[in-house]
Structure 1
């Protein structure tokens, strides 16, 4: 019998944790629950993830990274702006279990200082990527040319907040098409607004 590769075990643990966190929430999920679901020893679990916080953030970070990496090449021609925004929205992965984990991260970080630091670090990273993307839009499409870098950073935070709101709408039973229209039209107005 050959031992499973560390990568396969780690993937198995992450899948089990995602299942447990989305069903039971962060606070009600124990490392024992995750080990049982993954069918690994508790020692094997702790070998890959020293804490529940780190395992939780791994899932949270993977979710954000998958959205960032899945975005198609966009924002090269001004006349394609609306269709590019539509494609960008479609690249977001608003799966209900992942959205529940995201909400859990926000909730749990309000009273878990370690998780709060991880979430804040991740938020800053996402904001930085959003600023870079808006600067690319400014350069490639000639939009927002009178906006300072500080104003671009504020717009990036606003677009992230809008995205979070539309994500919530799409998983709480509202019409997903309406959530998409709201996001596309709002971001279009932001990008094309004059200073």
Structure 2
């Protein structure tokens, strides 16, 4: 392989872009081993948010990967994701006495360019806990590590980086533009990925 082909391709980014982000554990191993790890990850997100404000419209933290639908209006995706990944990796190694890299390659990113795409991708993200070979929960609102319960229960998020207003406002046709209507849309969505394999 030539030196030129080994150069990493620059990430597509612009301030108003919406991006589906996935970060996966190395060899698909677990990178979250319970509630304490998830709490630390969210603490890191809050820390980075204070430095580089961003918006997350949908998220799902699974045992071996993370999904975000986000917008980073201040800094490119790489500058946003780097401190998140570094700080959590440092925490995980120390907490679990782990040696080596915890992530598989770089994060995946894909820009979502239209309203229906945002609805589909966010639904796909929220449906992760029931799309596993053995569903992790019977109902999406029972999975505690995603943004879905905020929509289902019409709850305010405790995290400043979570935006719960945009997705309901994009509901198509004659549907109500409410968090509950959006939550129902997620349940009814057929679950087909946007050209992303996560299992």
Fold-level similarity (TM above 0.5): no
TM-score (norm: length of structure 1): 0.24
**Higher relative contact order by CA 8 Å / sep ≥ 6: 1 or 2?**
2
TM-score (norm: length of structure 2): 0.23
Greater share of helix: 1
